[in-house]
Structures are given as structure tokens and as C-alpha cells.
Structure 1
Amino acid sequence: MVNLKPKTSQLSAWVDRGVALFCLGTLIPASLAAADQIQHLALWWMVVVGGGIVVASIGMMVASFQGWKLRSFALVYVTVVTFGLITWPAAWQSDQVAASSPWLWMCLGVAAICLAVTTGTGWGFAYSIASGLLFAAVRMTPSGQSASLLGAFQDMINLVMNASVVIVALGVVSTAFKELDEAEAATRKEATDAAIEEALLEERHRLDGIVHDEVMTTLVAAAHAPGDVHVAQQAQRAVDRLAQAEAPTETRLPVTGDQLTWLVTDVVSALVPQTKFVSQLEGLAVPQQVASTLGMVVREVALNVAKHSKADEVEVTMTSPDKGAISISIADNGVGFDPELVPKRRLGLQVSVGYRMWAIGGSAEIHSQPGQGTVVVLTWKPENSTVGEAELPRRRRAGRVLADIPDLSRPLLVRLVWVLVGLQFLLGWTSLDQVTMVWPVFLAQALAVGATWLTLRRTSDNPMRLPDAILVVVLLIAVTLIVQAVLPNGHWPGYATWHSGVVMVLLVTVLVRGQERVAWTGVGLYAVISAVWAITHEMTVADTLRVGFTPFSWMLVAQLLQSWLIDLADRMNASRRSSAAANKAIAQSFSKLVLRDVWLTQLRAQVGPLLNRIADTDYELSDEERAACLAQESRLRDAMRAGNLVTELTSDAIEVARGRGVDVRLVDSRGTRLPEDVRAALTQHLGRLLTDSSTKRVVARAAPEGYEDVVTVLAVRDDGSSELIGLDASGRVSTR
């Protein structure tokens, strides 16, 4: 079982960038609102609070584009805004009641959002409630326009609800981004694994063809027709075919961390099926020569574990302690030994492990004591620390366009829009005393409900249909004209302008659904109509600029975010196409490495000496060598037909058992690899039955998928008794 360390999502950087842009964009309407209040505020307060907000906002924007964390700048922003709100009454230098609400209200919601993004959603919600209550208290002081309790309550509700809706929306988008990122990573890994499996299967079929047509045929012919010149020629042809298959024919691409994990897992589990694997090699690349040597060294260590350790628990851990470096630890709980007492002439550890690691610039450490198990640590580090990453094709990670997010969490996002529209309706109902007639307000809200339904209704069209988008803009302009017709002259009517929030929310939604030109046209019309209304109703310059500029600031933020995300989606699609081609090339290169340096190495060590003797026309095989030819042919046949049921050690036991007359039959009907727990249990029970001197027949069968017993083993003894062993998918044994 391989445990892969999950990768951390990088898409939160784009959320940070959007929040930073929102903070920076808030400076403009806040500055317009502060224009009439600066003269009444203490200079020290404007320097500390105003300057701190500007510096923190710019700092967040720079940090977001540099890839730095926003937390420090965000906490400065929150601290400065909170300090400014607490000290607002003390900073107010006029004896007159303020003519408008404190301009800091625009920054309070932003501060809550910053805290939610950088510290946690709970902190953001808590801050929005606390700052809303504090702002309501300030609003009822002379410096806060001596608002009534109702007016202060309206401000509090507006601040808390708006901030909460944005926090929830950001949370939904962030969650959707992470889900998409994880799904993309899982899909990419599945594609990579599939490419590797396909390439390995192709190479395995090619090798099996050579083994069957050349090697096995030669071994059988040599056993039955010794001295035949045609058999010698056939043996030489088999040797040449193996050498040809082993020769490199392509540029050796680097081996990825996932591929190295597969290689180590395969060679170790073939010898020690009970091994558990932990891999943290994602994003790594090593030269093929290094990967090949590591595979050979790990196999040698596993062979020593299988032969000498008597361990029932083995764990292989693969990590990258430094950039581009590899550390492989093989630990067992076996009998252990004293490394100092191992004779220098023993080549297993010295040559197969130590010298091989030295040859690639690595090292091997062996820690063991009698009775306390053994730990072998293999370490390799590239001479150039950038090799471990630079040689791999780079894969960009991207999120989805904003228009795709509603498909992931559409019900929640739709509810959020309705909640925000409903909030604006509530503010309108509490401001009916500010309008000259009441019934037009309810008519406008009815039209706004229709526009909201039309904007959010689910259709198969993507983007939103042009007639629907145009109709939404027409309805919103009608809402604007109706509301403005009943607003008073000479002063800002407060939340009686509830329609502005509805217009902005729905036009941003139209933008997100793909009708950008229609959305911007609607914003332009709304801004012109609102500016005309402000001028004709004797509003201040600040009010006129606010109604004209605020829509553009919101739409600009939404447009930039959408553009970034669309660019990310384009790059993601391009990355998918290039990654598919790169996966195929790397998988083919890796499969040839496995063929050359694992499978062929094992095959040549197994049958190479016999084939060379058979190919020598002057050499006459002995009776023992002819018997060895038949034994090797049976061994190869078992590996081809029943790869799930044999390991190198069980093959040795099967060969010995057949040598003393035991009938061993293996049937593999599964088609997929057995679970490692099953392989470990099977190795144990096969070894016990094959070494039992009373056993005269053993039949092992791997069942097709879906059977309760994954493997069954039948043993028949000399006295006619039998033992039937069944292994389920977890390796549990049932004996009958």
C-alpha cells in the first residue's frame, strides 16, 4: 500500500489577489467619501489611520503579485481600521454634528474579509459582528452624524450582512477551487499512471514474446536434443535478441518521483510482499541511470531481507529531504546482525549496495543490531540542486473560470445572491420615510425580483442568452428610474438608494455569465442616470462622484478577476495537452528502463549462463544442466502464466519441490495485481506447503474479480489427506 502525500492547493493565491484588489479599489470611494470630513479630523489620526490603510492596501497588492502571504499586511489593515473606528470620536475636531456617516464604514467590511481569508472564516464573521456593533455606537455620536437608533441599526445590518455574504461567497469559491485543483491533480495522476501501465504492458508483451519464442523454446530443445547444431544456433539467436532488447534506442528522459515509487514498490513487493510503502516523492525527477541503480540496490536489500531477516514487518519510506535529493529507508523487525562482523569478502552489501551507490554519487548506511532488526538508508543528491526539478516538463496548475464555479456550488451561490438582494429590500423597507411615495418602491422591488430570477435561472446556454441579458439591464434601468423618481432633493437619502446594491450584484452576475458588453453597457447607463439624478437633486460633488464611480469600481474588480481566471483556464487546457504528450513520452522511456534494467537484468541472471553454454557448439551439456533447462523453462512458464502467484523466493521453492517429484500447478485467472496482504499470506503458506516432505501435489489458483476467496491453495499429501486454504481480499485465511 502506497501512501501519497497530498499536494497543497496553490489556487488560494488568486483569492488573495482578488481580496488585495478589492482593498485597493475601496480606497477610491473611501477617499471620495472622506473629502468632506478630512478638515474636521485630527492630523495625527489621518496620518496614522489614513496612511496606514493606504500602505496596507498597496502592500497587499504587491504581496499578492509577488506570491507572498497576505497575513502580515492584512493584520495591519485590520488593526489600523479598528483603531481608527475606536478613536474616531476623539479625532473629530469640530463642535458641529457630522454631515455624513464616517467614511471608515467602507473599510470595515474589507477588514472582515481580509481577516476571514488570512486567519479563518470564524474570525471574519466575529469581526464583522463586533465592528458592526461598534460602528452603530459611533454613528449615534455627534462625530457619527448623531444617527437615530434605527439608522444605526441599518448601518450595522448593512455592514454585517454584506461582509458575511462576501465571506461565505469567498469560502464557496475557495472550496470550489480546492476541489477543482484536487480533481485536476487526481485526474493528472490517473492519466500518468495509465500511461505508465500501458507502456509497461506493451514492453512486457514484447519481452514475453522473446521469452516464449526464443528462450523457452531453446531450453526445451536443449534438454531433449543435446549437441544439435540447430539448437546452438537457436540459443545464439536468443542471446542476440536479449542483447538487442537491452540496448538503449531512445533518449533517456528523467524518471519522475511517481515512477520511482512504482519501481521500488514493484521490485520490493516481488520479494517481500508484506512490505508497507510510504512515498513523498511528488514533483521530483532523477536521471534514468540513478533510478536504475536505486532499483537494483533496493532489490538487493529486499533480497537480503527475504533470505536472512525472518521479518514479519517491513516498511520502505521514500522522501526528498533536500531539493532534488532522494532518501530511501528499508526497515525490518527481523533478527538483525552486527555489520562489523560481516566479512569483507561478502559482496552482497559491499558491491551490490555500497559500491553501486558510490558509483552514482550516493551513499548507503546500514544500522542493525542482533535481535533489533535492520534499517538500510540509501541517499542520493544531484550535483546540481536544480536537476531534480528543471528536467521535468513544467505543469501549470490552474483554476476554473468564474463562470464555471456556479456549476459546482450553484444552489448555495444562487441563495447568496437572493440573500444579498433580500438584504437590500430590507434596507429599503426601513427607509420608506425617506421617499415621497411608497408604492413605487414596492413596484421597483417586484421588477428587481423578476430581474434576479431571469439572471439566475438555470439554462443550457453558456454564456447567458443575449436577449435575457438585455432584458435584465432594461429591468434594472427601470428599477433605477422608479426609485430615483421618489427620492428627496437636497440631501443624500441613505438606504433609500437600496436599488444600487441590487443593480451591482445582478450586473456582476451578468458579467460572470459571459455577457460582458451587456453588463458594461448596463453599468454605463446606470452611472449616467445616477449622476444626472445627483446633479438635478442638488447632491454634493462627493455624492455625484460616488454614484458615478462606484459601479465602475465594482465592475472593474469583477472584470479583472474574470480575466485572470479565464487566462488560468486557457493555460490549464494548454497544460493538459502538453502534459498528455509529455506523459506518454516519459512513460515510454520509463517502461524501457524497467525492461532493460529490471526485467532483462533478472532474466539474463536467470538463464544467461545456460543460453551461452547451449550456444557454444564445442560444449556438451551434462545431465544436470539439461534438467536445469527444463526447470528454468517451467520457472519462466510460471512467471508468464501465473505472475500473481509467484515471487522469486516461491519460484525457488517450487523448483526444489518439483525436483523431488511434487506436482505443482499454478492457475492465474485474475487479470489484475493481487493486494499486497494477499501476496504476503500466499507466499507464507505456499512456502510451508512446498517444503513439507509429505506434500505430493499443490494447486494454487487466483480467482477472477468478484470472488470471496481471492486465492485458493489445495495441498494433497502422501496419505491421501488434503488441505484447502482460502485467502480473502485482506489476506485472512480460511482452512478446510
Structure 2
Amino acid sequence: MISLNRWVMLALAAAFSLYHVVRGLMTLGQADSPWPSIAAMALYLVATVLSLWPTSPTAMPGWLAALDLATAVSVPLLVTSELNPQVNNGYATWHVAAIGTLMTIAVVRRQELIGWIGVLFLTVQSVLWCGIGTSVEIGVTGSIMWVIVASVLTRSLVKVSRDAENLAVAERESAKWQAAQDAHQGERRRRLEQTAVRALPMLREIILSGGELSEEQRMESRVIEAGLRDEIRGRRLLNSRVRESVDAARRRGMTVSMLDEGTIDDLPETELEAILNRVADAIDATEATRMIIRTAPADTGVAVTLVALGPSTDPAEPGDSVRLFLEIPRSVSADAR
């Protein structure tokens, strides 16, 4: 595939635009007065230079589009004001190809409406000045064709660019989806492995005993079941120390509930490890009948909240009382362990 860079395209457009002016200069003698044509050339050159400025964005700004349209209206009027429409003016009608080129540039730079208005004005003005037959001879149809081709190609390129962007977005979304699926499969395998490691020994004992379990085995089964539930609901609230501390607390008769709502997923591993070790320390040091461990809202400075309840020691206030209320901040350092 052949591709031209921006500078080559600009150089070709500038050379072609300058050619019209050179052709007009060579035929100044055919005009009754050269000054309107010279003024038209100056205006055309200014509009062309600004339209082809190398650092300009692809989309032409509105003020420049207005200048190009004003040029498309002024130049034909200036040039034809000093020419005889009844004779063959030859290259003296340089303005037809020049305005066609300028309007083509406007179309390519996303000002299609301006390009069409300019070339339509050129067509109408030429027909009124010299008639349909002569207008065809001086190249009006060629200018119209340039604008048509520029419109078709520009729309096609815009569509291709849009399709390429949509494809890139779709590819990124597909990659994200695949990554999420891979992560889901990996997490599923990890949980199945953890389940097998923790539950299979007890399942074997249940099978071998025919379902007749001792009280100790029943307790251990409940601890394992609760631990498996923690793997689902607790997620990043768990590390090896927290698992051991929670299991030990349950064997002491404590009911432990864990809930990770995803608000600590963005914490660095070192910070998270320090937080979880503080959770484990709190569990080990607390005597209660029930403990709730959950992540705190993301818009607070707290990472994890622990609440422990136990029988009230005050006869005047029967029921449970708070034995522990602990908020562990998100910025816990490893030294705080």
C-alpha cells in the first residue's frame, strides 16, 4: 500500500495552487486592467497559504472557512470584471481552476458545505458571465468534479477512521472481557483447590464413619463450612493469619461473619498485609460470642471495621454488649504490626 505523509501532500497541493497563479500572471495582458486580477491573486494566495498551513488541525476552523468562501466569491468577480466573455480568454480564466482547488482543500479539511457553496457560486457566476458552453470550456465542470471526488473520498476516509476507532475500542473491550474471564477462571480454580484442601479430609472421615461423627468432628465440620463461606464473602479480608485466627475463634465458640465489599481492592499488598495482621491480632485478643468483620466505605479513611459482641456483665442492661469496636485505617504501615 502506497502512503504519502502530510508534508508531501501539502507540498503537492501548494505546487498545484501556485501553478494557477503563475498561469494567471502569464496572461495578465489579456485583461483590460491587470490590477483586479493581481488583487484576486493576492487574496487567493493568502487563503491558500492559510488553508495549507502545516501546523493546522485537520478540521478547518470556522473563520478560515469563511475566508475561503469570501475568496471563492470575490476572485471570480474581480478576474471576470476585466475580461471579455465573447472571446477565448485562454489561461486568463485561471480563477476557475484556482477556486476549484481551494474549495477541494476546504472539503478535505472537513468544510464540505463551504466547498459546495463556493463551487456552486463559481458555476452560477461563470454561466451568467459567459454562458453554459463557454463555462464548460474554461473548466467549471472540472472544478465541480474535484469537489465531488474530494467529498466522496473524505467521507470514505472519515468512515474508515471511525470504523478503525470502533474496532480498536472493540478490541480493547474484548481484551478486558478475556482478562476478566481468565481472572474468573483462575479465581474459580483457586477456590476449588482451597475447598479440596480443607474439605476433602473431613469428607473422607464422614464417608469412612458412615456419617456418624463425634462432637469434635461436627465442630470441625462447621468450622470448615464457615471457612469456605469466608472464601466467597471475605475475599481480600483473608490471609493465612486471619484464616487461622478465625478458625481458632470459631473453635472457641465465637460466631464470626466476614464481608468484603470490594473497597480495599486497590490497596498495595504491603498495606493490605499489615491491615490483615492487625485484624488477626484483634481476633486473637478478643473474647466474645459474635464478631463482625467488614470493609469500610471507600470514601472514608478506614479500611476494615471490627465489632465484637458478648453477654452484658451489667444486670441492669441484659443482652449483648459491645466488647470491641475497632476501625483499622487504610494507611497502616508494616511497622504497626
TM-score bracket for this pair, using the shorter chain length? 0.5 to 0.7
| Mapped partners of 1:414, 1:520: distance in 2 | 15
| Mapped partners of 1:536, 1:500: distance in 2 | 17
Shift of 1:679: 3.8
Q: Is the 8 A contact 2:227 2:243 kept in 1?
A: yes
| Mapped partners of 2:237, 2:190: distance in 1 | 19
| Mapped partners of 2:260, 2:19: distance in 1 | 76
Residue 259 of structure 2: which of 668, 692, 696 is its match? Answer: 668
Match of 2:282 in 1: 689
Match of 1:413 in 2: 61
RMSD, aligned α-carbons:
5.9
Q: Aligned in 2, Cα 1:613/1:669: closer, same or farther, shift over 3 Å?
A: closer
Q: Aligned in 2, Cα 1:152/1:507: closer, same or farther, shift over 3 Å?
A: closer
Q: Aligned in 2, Cα 1:21/1:557: closer, same or farther, shift over 3 Å?
A: farther
Match of 2:52 in 1: 163
Which secondary structure state, in structure 1, belongs to the residue aligned with residue 66 of structure 2? Answer: helix
| Mapped partners of 2:253, 2:260: distance in 1 | 23
Indicate yes or no: 2:195 matched with 1:594.
no
The superposition leaves residues 140-183 of structure 1 with CA deviations (integer Å, 9 ceiling, x where unpaired) of xxxxxxxxx9999878745653333x63232xx5xxxxxxxxxx
Indicate yes or no: 2:162 matched with 1:562.
no
Shift of 1:602: 1.8
Shift of 1:563: 1.2
Match of 1:701 in 2: 294
- Superposition pairs for residues 142-541 of structure 1, below 5 Å? 157-158=46-47, 160-164=49-53, 167-170=55-58, 413-418=61-66, 420-421=68-69, 424=71, 480=76, 482-483=77-78, 485-488=80-83, 492=92, 512=112, 522=120, 525=123, 529=127
| Mapped partners of 1:725, 1:493: distance in 2 | 89
Q: TM-score, structure 1 length as denominator?
A: 0.32
Which secondary structure state, in structure 2, belongs to the residue aligned with residue 653 of structure 1? Answer: helix
Match of 1:364 in 2: none
| Mapped partners of 1:685, 1:14: distance in 2 | 65
Q: Aligned in 2, Cα 1:156/1:687: closer, same or farther, shift over 3 Å?
A: same
Structure number with the bigger relative contact order (C-alpha 8 A, sep ≥ 6) is 1
Q: Aligned in 2, Cα 1:683/1:669: closer, same or farther, shift over 3 Å?
A: closer
User: How many pairs does the alignment contain?
Assistant: 305
Q: Aligned in 2, Cα 1:649/1:721: closer, same or farther, shift over 3 Å?
A: same
| Mapped partners of 2:27, 2:61: distance in 1 | 34
Match of 2:235 in 1: 643
Q: TM-score, structure 2 length as denominator?
A: 0.59
Q: Is the 8 A contact 2:206 2:213 kept in 1?
A: yes
| Mapped partners of 1:156, 1:687: distance in 2 | 79
Q: Aligned in 2, Cα 1:483/1:18: closer, same or farther, shift over 3 Å?
A: same
| Mapped partners of 2:23, 2:101: distance in 1 | 23
Which secondary structure state, in structure 2, belongs to the residue aligned with residue 167 of structure 1? Answer: coil
Which secondary structure state, in structure 2, belongs to the residue aligned with residue 563 of structure 1? Answer: helix
The superposition leaves residues 276-295 of structure 1 with CA deviations (integer Å, 9 ceiling, x where unpaired) of xxxxxxxxxxxxxxxxxxxx
Q: Aligned in 2, Cα 1:610/1:669: closer, same or farther, shift over 3 Å?
A: closer
Match of 2:304 in 1: 711
Q: Which runs of 5+ in 1 are unaligned?
A: 1-12, 37-97, 102-148, 174-411, 426-443, 446-478
Which secondary structure state, in structure 2, belongs to the residue aligned with residue 696 of structure 1? Answer: coil
2:62 maps to amino acid: V
Q: Is the 8 A contact 2:236 2:265 kept in 1?
A: yes
Residue 725 of structure 1: which of 326, 330, 333 is its match? Answer: 326
Match of 2:245 in 1: 653
Q: Aligned in 2, Cα 1:549/1:500: closer, same or farther, shift over 3 Å?
A: closer
Shift of 1:686: 0.8
| Mapped partners of 2:96, 2:20: distance in 1 | 20
Match of 1:265 in 2: none
Q: Aligned in 2, Cα 1:645/1:570: closer, same or farther, shift over 3 Å?
A: closer
The superposition leaves residues 635-676 of structure 1 with CA deviations (integer Å, 9 ceiling, x where unpaired) of 1233344435333441122213443x3746335374666432
Match of 1:607 in 2: 199
Q: Aligned in 2, Cα 1:509/1:531: closer, same or farther, shift over 3 Å?
A: farther
Match of 1:630 in 2: 222
Match of 2:316 in 1: none
Q: Aligned in 2, Cα 1:20/1:524: closer, same or farther, shift over 3 Å?
A: farther
| Mapped partners of 1:689, 1:14: distance in 2 | 70
Shift of 1:721: 11
| Mapped partners of 1:668, 1:485: distance in 2 | 84
